[in-house]
Structure 1
Amino acid sequence: MTRPDATRLPLVPAVAFVLVWSSGYISGPAAVHAAAPFSVLGWRFVIAAVLAAGLALLLRRPTRMDRGTLGRVALVGLVMNGLMFGMMYVAFDLGLGATLASLFHALSPVLTAVLASVLLGERISAVQVGGFVVGVAGVLLVLGSDLGHAGGPVAVGIGCLSMLTLSLGTLGQRWIGARPDLLWSAAVQFAVSAPPMLLLGWTTEGFWPVTDAPRALVSVLFLAIVNSIIGLVLLSLLVLRGGSGAAASLFFLSPPVTAVLAWLVLDETLTPLQLVGLVVAVVGVGAATRTRRVPPRGEDVPLTG
C-alpha cells in the first residue's frame, strides 16, 4: 500500500479548500463589524452543529465514539473552536487585519511541531526550526514598528494566543486517541462550543448586539455553511486522498490568498515592506511544512472550521 503524498492531492478540491479557508479571514471581520464577536461565534456554532449532525445522519455515518472519546473530542473542540476562534474574533473586533490573522494561523502547523518537540520529546528538523524562525521574522516585518495599524498590542497579543491555542488543540487531537467519524466529531465540537459563546455574548454584549442585521445574517451563514461545513468536507477529502501531511502543506498558501481577498473585499492594503514580510513568512512556513513527515493519524491538521 503506497503512502499518500502531495502529488495525489486533487487539484480542484485543493484550490477550493485554500479559497474556503482563506475566506474565513474575510467573513470573520465582516461578521464582527455587523455584530459582536461572541454572539457571532455562538450563532455560527449552533448552525454548524445542526448541519454537521444532519449531514452525518443523512450519510448514515457511524459515530465511532465511546464515552471517554466523546469527552476528549468535546474538550479539544472547546480549545480549538471556543478559545481559538473566540480570541481571534475579539482580535478582529479590536482591529486585527485579515492577512495578519491568516499569517498567525499559517504558522500554527510549524509551531505545533515545535511544541511537540518541547512537550512530547518528538524529533524536529533543522528546516522546521528555520522555517518557523523565518516565518516569525516575516510576521514581524508585516507588523512593523507601529502596531496601531494592526489594532494595537492587545489585538496582536490576542491573535498570537489564538495561534497558540490552535497548536495546542491540534496536539490535543492526538490525545483523543481513537478515530471518531469526522462529521460527528465536528458536530460535537461545534455543539459544546456554542453555549459558552452564547453565554459570553448575552452577558457581555447583550441579547441582540447587531448593528447591521443583513450583513450579520449573510456573514454568519457563510461562516457556518461555507467555512465550517464545506471547508471540513474538503479537508477530509484532501486528507483521504493525499494524507494529513500533504493537506497541512496547503495552509501556507492561505496568507497570500487572504491578502488578495482582503484587498478586494475589505479594502485592506499592504505597504511594500509588509508585502516583503508576507513573502518571507510564506516562504518560511512553506519550507517547513513541505519537508515534514506525513503524520500517521492526521493529527497535525487543524480539523476545525
Structure 2
Amino acid sequence: MKFTAATSPETPFLMAMPIIFVFLWSTGFIGAKLGLPYVEPLTFLATRFGICFLIMLPVILFTKTKWPARWQDFGHISVSGLLMHGGYLGFVFLSIDQGVPAGISSLIVGIQPLIVAALAGVLLGETVSRRQWIGLLLGLVGVFMVVFNKLSLGQGTTFGMSLSFIALFSIAIGTLYQKKFCAQMNLKSGNFIQFIAAGLYFYAMSLIFEDGNIVWHGELVFAMGWLVVVLSFGAVTLLYLLLRTGAAANVSSLFYLTPPCTAIVAYFLFDETLGPVSLLGMAVAVVGVALVNLKAKKAKTA
C-alpha cells in the first residue's frame, strides 16, 4: 500500500503513514468514551477546537506561514473543515448522545469508502477497477463482522440513526471536497483556518442547543488532550497528506481498518472482548483494503 508523491523519494515514514493514520484515527473513541460523561457533545467539540486554535495561534504568528493565495481558497478550506470536522464529528457525537450504539453508528459511517469510490470518477476523474470494488465490498463486510457483537438493533431512535447518516455523507463529501479543492493547502494555515471554522460552528451550536456546563474531571482533561494532540494535529494532518499523494478511493478504504483497530485498542484498555467473528472480520477488512490498493501499487512498480 503506497501513498507517495511522484516527485518525492519513498521513505520509511511515507510507507508507514497509512498504518500510523489508521491507528491514530481509531483511538478517537477514547475521547468520547472518557469525556462525554462530563460535558455535552457540542460543548466538548467547541472546547476542543478552541484549544486547537490557541495552540496553533503562536505557531502561525512566529513562523513564516504561507496563506492561501486567493480568497476563494479560504472559502474552500473552511467548507472542507465544516464537512470534515463540523458535519462528521458533530453528528457522530450527537447520534451516540441520542442513544445510538457506537457499533451501529460505526457501521453506518463505515459505508463512506463506497460513496467516495462511487463519486470519485464523476468528481475527480478517478477510475475504480472491478478488483477495487470487490475490495471495498469486502471491507464493508469485514467492518460489519467486527462490530456485529456490539449491534443492538432495538436501541437508538430513528432520529439518532439519521444523525449518523448525516455524519456519513459529511465525511464522504468532505473527503472528496478536500481532495478536489484543498489537497495542496499549506498544512499549518489550512488546519488553522479549519479549526476556526469548526470552532465557531460548534460554539454557535452549543449556545443554541446546550447549557455549556463542563465538569473538569481528570478523565475529561485526558480525553480533551488526546483528541487535540493525537486526532486534530496527528490523524487529521496525516489524512490530508494521504489525500495529497493518493487517490480518494484508496485513502478512504483505510477507514475500513479503523473499527478493527479500535476493537484491539478497546480490548487492551477496557477489557472488551474479541470474539471469533470479530477476529475473522478484521482479516476480511485487511484483505479488502489490500485489494483496493493493489492496483496503485502495481502501477508504481511497473
Q: Normalising to structure 1: TM-score of the pair?
A: 0.77
1:65-84 mapped onto 2 (5 Å cutoff) = 65-84=69-88
Cα distance in 1, alignment partners of residues 238 and 79 from structure 2: 24
Note the C-alpha offset of 1:168.
0.5
Match of residue 3, structure 1, among 1, 6, 9: 6
**2:194: which partner in 1?**
189
Note the C-alpha offset of 1:250.
5.4
Q: Normalising to structure 2: TM-score of the pair?
A: 0.78
**Which deviates the most, 17-26 or 122-131?**
17-26
Q: Percent identity?
A: 27
Match of residue 45, structure 2, among 41, 47, 60: 41
**1:129: which partner in 2?**
133
User: CA separation of 1:118/1:237 partners in 2, compared to 1, >3 Å: closer, same or farther?
Assistant: closer
Q: Deviations over 1:88-145 (max 9, x none)?
A: 1123333533x77666666534531222235666432112211222222233334549
**2:209: which partner in 1?**
204
1:218 aligns with 2:200: no
**Which deviates the most, 114-123 or 88-97?**
114-123
1:252-291 mapped onto 2 (5 Å cutoff) = 252-291=256-295
Q: Any unmatched runs of 5+ in structure 2? A: none
**Which deviates the most, 60-69 or 174-183?**
174-183
Match of residue 179, structure 1, among 184, 207, 230: 184
Question: Which amino acid in 2 is paired with 1:205?
Answer: E
**1:165: which partner in 2?**
170
Cα distance in 2, alignment partners of residues 112 and 187 from structure 1: 25
State the superposition RMSD in angstroms.
3.6
Cα distance in 2, alignment partners of residues 29 and 150 from structure 1: 21
Cα distance in 1, alignment partners of residues 169 and 81 from structure 2: 15
Q: Any unmatched runs of 5+ in structure 1? A: 295-305
Question: Which amino acid in 2 is paired with 1:173?
Answer: Q
User: CA separation of 1:16/1:213 partners in 2, compared to 1, >3 Å: closer, same or farther?
Assistant: same
Question: Which amino acid in 1 is paired with 2:185?
Answer: P
**1:116: which partner in 2?**
120
User: CA separation of 1:3/1:13 partners in 2, compared to 1, >3 Å: closer, same or farther?
Assistant: closer
